[in-house]
Amino acid sequence: MARRPGIFGPSSGWPAQDLIAFSAEFDEALVLAAYTEGVFPMPLHESGFGQMGWWSPLARGVLPLDALRVTRSLRKSAKHYTTTVDAAFPEVLERCADPRRPFGWIDADVRRVYTALHRAGYAHSVETWDADGRLVGGLYGVSLGGLFAGESMFHDPERGRDASKVALVALVDVLSDERAEDRVIDVQWQTDHLASLGVIEVEREEYLALLAELLTVPSPVWTAGRRPGA
């Protein structure tokens, strides 16, 4: 799939805010090009400014793999779940897009484009299952070189309180190959919850410099259905 470099222009010309552009156009090639420029999409629902917003936070949330904090209680909780990779991407996407979730932003266009990216081998999911085989948590994002651009995660509040955290731990396992120190998970914005797991903030220009290095790293091996570490 061809990339279109320089779509958003030099970062020196971007506004001093997280939202740097908006457009009516939205497709797989544009999304991939955006990630390579340090930009990600999020719809501007009911804004009047076009269909899609393009964001590059001034303070970017990132998780170096060796910074992940796994508490004793989370390790204990993880033993009650099974994790898989790319075993239920459509279901994870659908659960993340549940309109009952607060601040839901994943619309039909986002589902269409990321489903196509999954079929093309760029978008991936990690699933968390309970002992009865129910999908109770998961996450999805886009893998490009040493970058995993996390898009969204979910957990079942009744059956999988820690299920999204377990999925994150499993994702780090997937990425922890011989190039682990050269890989980073981009979480877009840091929250208190993500900070407790080891996510840090870096300034926009620092992130863009890091991104240039990440894109030179070979992509990890994604094996559908396998359990991380298996």
Closest CA to 55 of 107, 20, 97: 20
* Residue range(s) in the chain whose domain bears CATH number 3.30.70: 11-57
* Residue range(s) in the chain whose domain bears CATH number 3.40.630.70: 60-214
pTM beyond 0.75, yes or no: yes
Find all residues with CB under 8 Å of 124, minimum gap 6, and list them.
85, 86, 89, 118, 140, 141, 142, 143, 148, 222
What is the structure's pLDDT at 172?
Answer: 97
**Angle (deg, nearest 10), helices 89-96 and 108-119:** 160
What is the structure's pLDDT at 196?
Answer: 92
Q: Which residues of the chain have pLDDT under 50?
A: 1-5
* Residue range 81-90, pLDDT digits in tens: 999 999 999 9
Q: What is the CATH number of domain 60-214?
A: 3.40.630.70
Do residues 2 and 29 lie in contact, with contact meaning Cβ atoms separated by under 8 Å? yes
Domain 11-57, what architecture?
2-Layer Sandwich (3.30)
What is the structure's pLDDT at 100?
Answer: 66
Q: CA-CA distance, 121 to 143, in Å (whole number)?
A: 9
What is the structure's pLDDT at 159?
Answer: 87
The string over 110-120, giving b where at least 16 C-beta atoms fall within 10 Å of a residue's C-beta and e elsewhere, is beebbeebbee
